Amino acid sequence: MLERSTVENTLNTIRPMLLQDGGNVELVDVTADGIVKVKLVGACGACPMSTMTLKNGIEARLKQAIPEIKSVVAV
């Protein structure tokens, strides 16, 4: 089972890049079937590139660090 703390620790390695652009990501939930739910906040919440940031940045990094993750979705 995915540990919420493991996901949060990995998100902490991504946050500095998001913060540089005035955005951030909040962990909402980690499901038993490997889905990570996040909320993009600040500049990331309204950015037209947020889908790309979510999939090519956040999801890619999380999946690389934690292979059990199936998907990352914004809520």
Q: Does domain 4-74 have CATH number 3.30.300.130?
A: yes
- Tens of each residue's pLDDT in the chain, 75 residues: 789 999 999 999 999 999 999 999 999 999 999 999 999 999 988 888 999 999 999 999 999 999 999 999 999
Task: Give the residue among 18, 12, 27 at the shortest CA–CA distance from 72.
Answer: 27
Long-range contacts formed by 54-57: CB under 8 A, 24+ apart: 57/14, 57/17
Residue 20 CA to residue 33 CA, distance in Å, equals 32
Per the confidence metrics, is the pTM higher than 0.95? no
Contact in structure between 18 and 52 (CB atoms under 8 Å): no
